[in-house]
Chain A
Amino acid sequence: MSTSITGRSVIDELPDPEGRPPLTGDRASTGRWGDRLFGGAATSSGVLVIALVSLVGLFLVIQAVPSLLNNNVNFLTSTEWVPSGAQPRFGIAALLWATVITSVIAMAVAVPLGVAVALFITQYAPPWLSKPAAAIIDLLAAVPSIVYGFWGLNVAGQYFEPVQNFLNTYLGWIPLFKDVGTSAKSTLAFAGLILAIMILPIITAISREVFAQVPTAHKEGALALGATKWEMIRTAVLPFGKPGVISGAMLGLGRALGETLAIMILLSALNPNAAWSWSIFTGGETFASKIALNAGEFDSPQKTGAYIAAGLVLFILTFVVNAIARIVIERRKAFTE
């Protein structure tokens, strides 16, 4: 079979042009046993990955369902979070908002910046700077998230206050920028900025790799037609690199959505009586930070199930994001297969 995983093709079973039967057994040069073994190992790895994800999903669902059945409010629309007691009431609306808005802020900053930095490294930087520049941005990934959180709270946070005050004063009439009195280093906006720094190296690294692979012929062709450097980038580099940029951005988004420690350290939680606000200058809790913060208090199956249900939503969220990204990539396949 031509599609067999052993790598054999129809040719293996047909006589050669001179009519001799195909070689079989130990003398066959197709390395059939090696192929079968190697192909088998590769396939089982693939199947293992499927098994792992299914196990994670299965486990989350099994643990979440009993708690969800006991829930007394709408899980998707409620902002309450009282997961234990005789009348558990918990909903994810507030968690979802905080998770999404911090990630959106992070992406809004990090994707353009990351692509620009990748273009700088591959197209603009003088040759002596290109490699060190790439290494410098990679080094951003070397800083663990807990350090970003600690640094954000204790070092950088105070400098965000003037920015926040400025936006509060002049743009405060927009609900998004309303001042609700949360300290500057603990707002969704600042957490989003720190997230942006954290996902920047991921986006840059992947974009850089694909930009560097743009065929020289495309680039020189564009230049030869009289394009400026920027036009060459727009017409040759960016279209070629688009799937890479998207996958980099999605990796970044995945990390931003599930980021735990930095968010947990930075964000102020809202009190249970707080009025709902659309402002990005308020606090909140994301799925991940809420789960991590309370991991020490999972003392009953009911409560644990509620947090796992929140984890399940996070899981589904990333699932959807990745599925969308995948469709985009499939549509614009630019790689050689």
Chain B
Amino acid sequence: MKTTRIGQLASLAVIGSLVLAGCGSDNTSGSGSSSSPVAVDCFTGTINAEGSSAQKNAIEEAIASYGKACSGAKINYNPTGSGAGIKQFTAGQVDFAGSDSALKTTAADGGQTEAAKAEAYCGAPAWNIPMVTGPIAVAYNLKGVDKLVLTPAVAADIFAGKITAWNDPAIAAVNPGVTLPSTAIKVFFRSDESGTTENFTKYLKAAAGGKWAAEPAKKWTGAGEGKEKSAGVSEGVKSTDGGVTYVEWSYAKDNKLGVAQIDNGGGAVELTGAAVGKAVAAAKQVGTGNDLALKLDYTTKEAGAYPILLVTYEIVCSKGKDATKAKSIKAFLKHFASADVQKSLEGIGYAPLPTEVETKVLAAIDALS
């Protein structure tokens, strides 16, 4: 008797929650403003992607603007990290992956390489398509200091814990005319394994002239206090006077942190979209054909080029397993790579692809089938 009543009530509760659930809805072209001026290829259906958190804000912006034009399209991007994205992609769990680095062509810990795994899954080579260039800012929080210049050597010493106070002669030497307080330097690093750490240490290793001893890796090898993901390190710097970290430009901007200018030898360069574009344009293509894996030149002395950056790729099957899905992916990526979208990214801390790279990217997307 009692159990039946309990059972009834329980099922009522379950049904209730399901009914309540049915009430919700997705915003169909919600705010309804701005009809996109460019013609967008629309698709109907769902695309799931996963990967680098560095490109999360950029791809969300692209998804939002695509959604405005095409109400039937549903694109999910889950920013769990590059490694997870590639793993999910090669396991067939997501439709494309976002990654801070191109598919590795050397194997980690023996076994298949990432590129080989991806090719095995796709049944055709997988292409690395550079889509978002994310500058890495050396972000700091120092009372009374609005402008700070760092050379790679000084930065390496700071992040290795060899320079421990902001008024260290080495910092003062590259910042003439700036009054530096004696505040202790508190370095914050990413405690998770991250492509940002890898790219930043690659830069330090390449540009600091032997001052950075450790091998570049996704795991931090320098000094400091570890925080979870980009949000954690930027929060750490924000709440600590004397704090400094390396973080994607967008996080530095959103948290209103100071961003150091970098002097690679060709004069101090402020972090701007144009300065980053210059560095990307100087990168070498290492992939073949439409595989646009790039190799960045961290030691560039070109005036006005900001050298610390990472390029995030969309990793896709050159020949899709499912024709409709492939078409959908193609339509979305085309939108993502379009000049309008790329331009809109600068406002949120990314740099647009330089024209010549964009042309190649669009050609590669066109070649997807």
Contact = CB atoms under 8 A, between A and B. Distances in A.
Chain B associates with chain A: yes
Interface of A: 82, 84-86, 88, 153-154, 158, 181-183, 185-186, 264-265, 268-274, 283, 285, 293-303
Interface string B228-242: 100010011001100
Given A84-B108, A299-B87, A271 B193 contact: no
A181 B184 CA distance: 10
B70 interface: no
A296 B192 contact: yes
B223 A273 contact: yes
Given A183-B186, A268-B236, A298-B83, 5 more contacts: A154-B235, A271-B222, A273-B161, A274-B223, A283-B226
B2 to A, nearest CB: 16
Contact of A153 (B86, B111, B161, B235): B235
Contacts of B192: 293-294, 296-297
Contacts of B227: 186, 268-269
B80 A268 contact: no
A285 B227 CA distance: 10
A-B interface, 10 closest residue pairs, ranked by CB to CB distance from nearest: A269-B226, A296-B81, A269-B191, A296-B84, A297-B83, A297-B193, A302-B109, A300-B109, A268-B225, A296-B80
Interface string B46-72: 000000000000000000000000000
B220 interface: yes
Contacts of A296: 80-81, 83-84, 192-193
B224 interface: yes
A186 to B, nearest CB: 7
Which of B81, B224, B225 has the most A CB atoms < 10 Å from its CB?
B225
Interface in B83-133: 83-84, 86-87, 108-109, 111, 114
A82 B220 CA distance: 11
A264 B192 CA distance: 10
Interface in B181-211: 184, 186, 189, 191-193
B225 A294 contact: no
Contacts of B236: 183, 186, 268
B300 interface: no
Contact of A270 (B80, B83, B108, B226): B226
Contacts of B239: 158, 183, 185
B219 interface: yes
Nearest to A284: B226
Contacts of B224: 271
A7 to B, nearest CB: 18
B29 interface: no
A269 B221 contact: no
A272 B220 contact: yes
Interface centre among B83, B189, B222 (most CB of A within 10 A): B83
Contacts of B86: 299
A272 B108 CA distance: 21
Contacts of B83: 296-299
B111 A300 contact: yes
A264 B87 CA distance: 23
Contact of A82 (B184, B219, B222, B226): B219
A158 B189 CA distance: 20
Given A269-B227, A302-B109, A297 B218 contact: yes
Nearest to B215: A85
B220 A271 contact: yes
Contact of B225 (A86, A182, A299): A182
A271 B81 contact: no
B193 A294 contact: yes
Contacts of A270: 225-226
A78 to B, nearest CB: 16
A261 to B, nearest CB: 10
A301 B221 CA distance: 23
B166 to A, nearest CB: 15
Contacts of A269: 189, 191, 225-227
Contacts of A85: 108-109
A86 B110 CA distance: 8
Nearest to A282: B225
Contacts of A294: 192-193
A299 B236 CA distance: 28
A208 B184 CA distance: 49
A220 to B, nearest CB: 32
Nearest to B52: A296
28 contacts: A84-B108, A84-B109, A158-B239, A183-B225, A185-B239, A186-B227, A186-B236, A264-B228, A265-B228, A268-B191, A268-B227, A269-B191, A271-B189, A273-B161, A274-B223, A283-B226, A285-B226, A293-B228, A294-B192, A296-B81, A296-B193, A297-B192, A299-B83, A299-B87, A299-B114, A300-B108, A301-B111, A303-B109
Interface string B251-294: 00000000000000000000000000000000000000000000
B91 to A, nearest CB: 11
Interface string B15-58: 00000000000000000000000000000000000000000000
A283 B84 contact: no
Most buried by A among B186, B219, B235: B219
Nearest to A305: B109
B165 to A, nearest CB: 13
Interface string B146-186: 00000000000000010000000000000000000000101
B200 to A, nearest CB: 14
A303 B110 CA distance: 12
B246 to A, nearest CB: 14
A264 B189 CA distance: 14
Nearest to B226: A269
B110 to A, nearest CB: 8
A272 B221 contact: yes
Contacts of B193: 294, 296-297
